[in-house]
Amino acid sequence: MQKIGRPSKYKEEYCEQAEKLARLGATDKEIADFFGVTEQTLNNWKTDKDGNETPFFESLKRGKVESDARVVDSLYQRALGYSCREDKVFLVDKKPLIVPMMKQYPPDTTAAIFWLKNRRPSEWRDRQDINVTGDMPADVSAKIEEIKAKYNDKK
């Protein structure tokens, strides 16, 4: 039986390339552009005809998980503050002198807030959900209707 439609551009070596691109933070759109296909074609490569995940999709997931983990770690370190080695270069008698130093980065309030709002939204979100129950007094309902009528007259 002959297959119907255009032959696929997909090649097995795309798995390794897609994983590397995802690890570098490339989006699905950017990966599709790299392979010279549409995003829909890229999505088609992610599952087989039975709807099962393909090795290509697994490669993409591995790359994305790794790059996301690096960002999470960086945000966490930024929120807590950290130190790292930083060499200073000085000229002494026209010769470079390299002095190893430790640079301190203080905790970043914005990173900490971002972390907490996402990890503990019920305790740290800006918006509070307040539910008001009960009947509205008749005089308030009448005032609302009066305001609505004035607003509609101005249209």
Task: Express each pLDDT in 36-85 by its tens digit.
Answer: 999 999 999 998 888 889 999 999 999 999 999 999 999 999 999 999 99
Residue pLDDT, tens place only, 76-100 = 999 999 999 999 999 999 999 999 9
Distance CA 10, CA 35 (A): 9
pTM score, two decimals? Answer: 0.58
